[in-house]
Amino acid sequence: RRLIMAPSSLPSVLLILLISVLPACLASIPVSGAYGLEQLGADGLYREILRDETVLRLKELGKISDGEGFLERTFLSPASFRATDVIISWMKDAGLTTWVDQMGNIHGRFEPSNSTDKALLIGSHMDTVIDAGMYDGALGIICAISALKVLRVTGKLQRLTRPVEVIAFSDEEGVRFQTTFLGSAAVAGILPESILQVSDKSGTTVQEALRLNSFEASAAALGQVKYSPESVGSYVEVHLEQGPVLEALRYPLGVVKGIAGQTRLKVIVDGSQGHAGTVPMKLRRDPMVAAAELVVTLEGLCKDPSRFLTYDEECGCFTEESLAGLVCTVGELLTWPSASNVIPGQVNFTVDIRAMDDLVRETIVASFSRIVMQRCDHRLVDCAVEHKHSAAATPCDPELTAQLKRATRSAVSAMAPGGHGHAGAESTATPVLMSGAGHDAMAMARLTRVGMLFVRCRGGVSHSPEEHVAEDDVWAAGLALLRFLDQHAVAEL
């Protein structure tokens, strides 16, 4: 073994002092991995981690797919387990203790010593739709890991005043088993035991899929995943907007005031099937024409509800604000027998109605159902309206929303003077948005108070390979989350 000899000119007392002090000095320097302290810099923006590394990790995770030439990563698929290994390695790199629960959710947690405060949970989902973009879900997971990594390399992780945990939820999209929020609903304790018997298209049940991958898959195991409300103080989720509002406002981030409630209907219109060339127009009972009229009526009802909902007729309580964000969609239309030379005998179509105000949504549903019957009677066809799904709106916690708003303002203002892509944004009020899409925060709201931060995406496009978030907007999201943690979870020196 080689010995490093001190120069003979160095006094022995000084050498002893150097040897005794050096370890303590080294221990006080935050571990920075591949980043020198000068890189992490005095500007407090941490671009190397919050932008450069985060973007690289988004691209890496976006390549982990079950599909050839497109991104597909569904619940308990082979790609999901490859992604799990990668996410765990990133969590460990941030100084977190990691584990995978009985529903395949990945957890990374830092537990301060002697802390009795409730935990802050930060998360999003690791699964994707078919032919997905690489930001949906993954952005929230990786931004959270990156923010905690900055705390580690700057020595602030040890100063956390409460437990902070990042969760990568195993299933939010519901692609495989056609039921959403398997991961977050299990953590929130609202996943019914009956979910274990739900089957995918191949006939494999959730229980069988879990057991094939060495999970226990029992009611008791689901109980182990559940968090107690007494242990959790709040949940925060970063997510791309999946809409065009932030881009139109030329602002990188927005806070979410709530997630819209949703009702799904199936409308069945029965008429008289017949020959396209021999049945006179005046004698037809054509369900296709009736369905077309109903679709256009629905559009008018949701574009200009005041034309249909009068102040006295409904509830006398609708305001412009309560009607804002109302959206209605017909996404699927099926005809029978679906032949070009046959008047259809039956037409079915789906209706998706969303609004932030549950009373507005319920009134629109009731009004449309009444209009369906009126129009069908007029056209001498038979109609039925089936209710398939209903979920109440989820308001975000006002205090968390205000905190995220301040953190966003701080982050965007800090970036703007340096010419980092947000010039002028510092003078604009942080947008407050409603989410028309469902998110894990909806399930987590059954466990604790929730807050959400939206990130601008190009063209408002999502659930598509064209989905894109600018690198500087990724950076802004990570910095806003870091500022939020600094302000509300890190002890001052």
Give the mean pLDDT of 238-246. 96
Asked if 266 and 348 touch (Cβ cutoff 8 Å), the reply is yes
pLDDT in tens, 265-288: 999 999 999 999 999 999 999 999
- pTM, entire model: 0.82
More confident residue, 30 or 149: 149
Please give the pLDDT value at position 142. Answer: 98
User: Does residue 218 carry a pLDDT above 90?
Assistant: yes
At 21, is the pLDDT very low, low, confident or very high (cuts 50, 70, 90)? very low
What CATH number should be reported for the domain holding residue 291?
3.30.70.360
In this structure, the answer to whether residues 361 and 399 fall within a common structural domain is: no
In this structure, the answer to whether residues 271 and 240 fall within a common structural domain is: no
Please give the pLDDT value at position 306. Answer: 76
80 occurs within a structural domain: yes
User: Does residue 348 carry a pLDDT above 90?
Assistant: yes
DSSP codes joined into one string, 250-274: T-SEEEEEEE-EEEEEEEEEE---E
Sign of CA dihedral 260, 261, 264, 265: negative
User: Does residue 117 carry a pLDDT above 70?
Assistant: yes
Sign of CA dihedral 17, 23, 27, 30: positive
Give the mean pLDDT of 315-319. 58
User: Which residues 6+ apart lie within 8 Å of 302 measured at CB?
Assistant: 326, 327, 328, 353, 364
In this structure, the answer to whether residues 114 and 164 fall within a common structural domain is: yes
For residue 187, what are the domain limits? Answer: 42-259+394-413+429-487
User: Which residues 6+ apart lie within 8 Å of 157 measured at CB?
Assistant: 95, 110, 148, 151
Q: What is the CA radius of gyration of the chain?
A: 27
In this structure, the answer to whether residues 96 and 126 fall within a common structural domain is: yes
Please give the pLDDT value at position 428. Answer: 73
In this structure, the answer to whether residues 269 and 409 fall within a common structural domain is: no
Q: What is the mean pLDDT of the chain?
A: 89
More confident residue, 80 or 38: 80
Number of domains in the chain: 2
Phi and psi angles of residue 318, each rounded to the nearest 5 degrees, phi first: -80, 135
452 occurs within a structural domain: yes
Please give the pLDDT value at position 324. Answer: 73
368 occurs within a structural domain: yes
Per the rule left: phi > 0, alpha: psi between -120 and 50, beta: everything else, 346 is: beta
In this structure, the answer to whether residues 481 and 377 fall within a common structural domain is: no
Element (H, E) at 195: none
Give the mean pLDDT of 72-90. 98
In this structure, the answer to whether residues 373 and 409 fall within a common structural domain is: no
More confident residue, 2 or 323: 323
8 occurs within a structural domain: no
What CATH number should be reported for the domain holding residue 462?
3.40.630.10
Please give the pLDDT value at position 317. Answer: 57
pLDDT in tens, 127-162: 999 999 999 999 999 999 999 999 999 999 999 999
Please give the pLDDT value at position 42. Answer: 55
11 occurs within a structural domain: no
Angstrom distance (rounded) from CA 448 to CA 456? 26
User: Does residue 39 carry a pLDDT above 90?
Assistant: no
Asked if 355 and 305 touch (Cβ cutoff 8 Å), the reply is no
Please give the pLDDT value at position 320. Answer: 66
Please give the pLDDT value at position 30. Answer: 42
Angstrom distance (rounded) from CA 109 to CA 168? 12
Burial of 26 (0-12, 13-18, 19+ CB in 10 A): exposed
In this structure, the answer to whether residues 173 and 94 fall within a common structural domain is: yes
In this structure, the answer to whether residues 242 and 276 fall within a common structural domain is: no
Please give the pLDDT value at position 305. Answer: 86
Asked if 476 and 252 touch (Cβ cutoff 8 Å), the reply is yes
pLDDT in tens, 367-425: 999 999 999 999 999 999 999 888 889 999 999 999 999 999 999 999 986 545 555 55
472 occurs within a structural domain: yes
